[in-house]
Structure 1
């Protein structure tokens, strides 16, 4: 039986342990149960090694620690805002490990676990939310685009890039080191945006090698998924002419298998796929949000039992694939990384606004050069002015 809670007058049903979706009416791909038990699926198989699973565990723990440290830094006034990925580590780490090195990622503003796996230094993420830069990581090396703040816009960017990849002859060659696919991440709330639906249309019409990866974390800020869609999100793909699949987003093994299959389909020239990773946002939408205003505490507690990290730990422990020494080593690595990350974040230098003019174009235009000179002249008026003496009568200068 499915477990149901209520928000307002709308029933909220969660996937039951049998691998069925909300209400028992949707197939849910699951290879690892919340209790850490392996299960088979007729269409998807995890073909990784035990060492791979231990690596996924490490990646989830470390990416969660990055998230926790960034949240703490924001609360202490060191970051402007932060979008937590707490609870979504399985969806992010699993999908990232389903990619090939040449695949290209277009994220939202919450894909911290994907960024970690793709080699983006966590400090660069924090620097962006601190306002030091706009995302100064090496895009060519990581194949990970800048974070997209505008909801759903990145799906159009991904589709256009994928169309370009196909026209460059990087699809369907049969060379696994050459064939390329694109992944566009977005949340359930973004599916209500026109940009996402337009991206679906273009991707289908042009058979673009793109995987649309929706992290359905149940809430678009304070709006539950039931108020946005009366059918499971993955089913929308059929209306655009390409397949969709729903996967247990808290099952890192199933997510890896489903994403890998969808990307292989895209690289071979068979077009787009919509993957709906059914997961849950354990924290706030961002640090400016208070989720206690719109969701029930028992719903949160229900999803704690499906924690993606806990189920992998249970699997590793039950199978004798990892011992306490391994888990302690990972925890120690997380502690050391967090301390280093905090110190590095606090040491980030404030940007010089005048440099902004140099970053607009590859070659600066005369118009921008004139603006930069005017800005420098304006700033100089403050630098040359004598300091205010607060002890003088009337604050004389």
Structure 2
């Protein structure tokens, strides 16, 4: 196990050192003795160890309550400072120039695609869109650290993970335009991507439903002993749903190889974090459920990469869940149906956009390394925009799927009641051809 993976495994103890009420004896952490034998040994050697089956603890005669203000908060792991300078070179992942440029181009291509599709929605050309502004490092840093076959459960702001894995601009555009070339046959609303070949489960709109599903998939991986992990992305708002708590508990008690990746971007739609919870973020919940936990700087692509790589190592090798909380900021609106100016100031957004943007930070690192420059940046901006607009034009011109597709792919054999509905629909469309845009759909 790498040194970083060990730190993630015991990450909660890093910030609790010096606070006796949170310490775990090192001998218990590193011991290879089975848990039941270890408990028996404690019973025999220390009469101050409580023997209740529901918790591991010692007795105390001090009447003292654990208070949320009695510690300084879980620290945020980082590699680079806000100017893109690596603070401790031993934590530089030392990736190849080719890999670094792939990561940077994925982050910036995602940004370019967001701008064009957002404008497309505002022009009424697509129905809905969600941007990823400010959170690009959480996508690309984590995606680069995974095995390409690891199963991904996204929420709805993980387009960069798919892009890094090879989901093409054409595929993004076809999905958002719900045309006949879309893998989902036009059934999903925009940004609800999915691709079985890239091991990315189709996104669902209901909040947090992917979390218990991911825990179940991870349990299946454990039984199959296939050496793969599941990663489940969610926001701090989704962590308030009951499904999140169920997923954490199932994954921990069943010892599943899963990485829970929380993007804490400050707002759950219009609800700021101080109204969402009163504890120390989401990371504080990990140890309570028995999960190794780490909090990282989500605007630092290297910190995200290192933490995800180490977390995956723990999940697969030890068959146990790991929780990552990536602290970041949602620069854009929650979606095209949201106006964030109603609940946050322009100055607040401007700070994160101009002073601590993950793309700017990474670009500074690449320039210092000598593999990127202002000239290359300008060339890439022009080229990436051309690529996006080309895919955009093709998708917009493509025909919509056959309307009959709404009745297929649910049952192996279409049941009688759906067959009747389809026949009734055919008669209806035939009788009212002029009322429907039949020419824009495949026949």
TM-score (norm 2): 0.76
Q: Do 2:86 and 2:92's aligned partners in 1 also have CA atoms closer than 8 Å?
A: no
Shift of 1:344: 2.1
1:354 maps to 2:393: no
2:423 aligned with 1:370: no
What whole-Å deviation, never above 9, does each CA across 1:120-179 have from its counterpart, x for those lacking one? Answer: 234434444444413597723111111121111111111111111111221xxxxxxxx1
Cα 1:140–1:129 shift into 2, 3 Å? closer
Match in the other structure for 2:53: none
CA distance in 2, matches of 1:41, 1:202: 38
Report how many aligned residue pairs link the two structures. Answer: 355
Matched, 1:56 2:107: no
Q: Do 1:120 and 1:137's aligned partners in 2 also have CA atoms closer than 8 Å?
A: no
Task: Quote the Cα distance in structure 2 between the aligned partners of 1:252 and 1:58.
Answer: 13
Distance verdict in 2 for CA 1:128–1:384, change over 3 Å: closer
What is the aligned counterpart of 2:220 among 146, 164, 170? 164
The corresponding residue for 2:271 is: 223
* Structure 1: gaps spanning 5 or more residues: 1-22, 171-178, 386-397
The counterpart of 2:127, out of the listed 80, 85, 96, is 80
Shift in CA distance, 330/24, structure 1 to aligned 2, threshold 3 Å:
farther
Tell whether the 8 Å contact from 1:88 to 1:280 is kept in structure 2 after alignment.
yes
Name which of 62, 66, 78 aligns with 1:30.
78
What SS is found at the alignment partner of 2:237? helix
Give the equivalent residue in structure 2 for 1:185: 233
Kindly state the Cα deviation for residue 281 of structure 1 after the two structures are TM-superposed: 0.3
Alignment partners' CA distance in 1, 2:94 and 2:290: 29
Alignment partner of 2:393 out of 326, 343, 352: 343
Find runs of 4+ consecutive structure 1 residues off by over 4 angstroms: 135-138
Does 2:92 match 1:39? no
CA separation in 2, counterparts of 1:34 and 1:365? 59
Hey, what does 1:113 align to over in structure 2?
160
Aligned: 1:327 with 2:327: no
Bigger mean CA offset, 28-37 vs 113-122:
113-122
**Alpha carbons 1:28, 1:248 under 8 Å: kept:** yes
Q: CA deviation at 1:363?
A: 3.6
Q: 1:95 aligns with which of 131, 139, 142?
A: 142
Counterpart in the other structure of 1:14: none
- Aligned pairs for 1:284-295 (under 5 A) are 284-295=333-344
Contact 1:79 1:126 in 2 (8 A): no
CA contact (8 A) 2:236 2:268 kept: yes
| Mapped contact 1:118–1:144 kept (Cα < 8 A) | no
Aligned equivalents of 1:285, 1:303: Cα separation in 2: 15
SS in structure 2 of the partner of residue 359 of structure 1: coil
The structure that has the greater radius of gyration is 2
CA distance in 2, matches of 1:350, 1:140: 22
**Which sections of structure 2, spanning at least 5 residues, go unmatched?**
1-70, 180-185, 436-443
What CA distance in whole angstroms lies between the structure 1 residues aligned with 2:434 and 2:290? 65
- Which range moves more in the overlay, 46-55 or 203-212? 46-55
Alignment partner, residue 4 of structure 1: none
Q: Matched residues in 1 for 2:95 and 2:411: separation?
A: 44
Shift of 1:361: 2.3
- Return the TM-score normalized by structure 1: 0.84
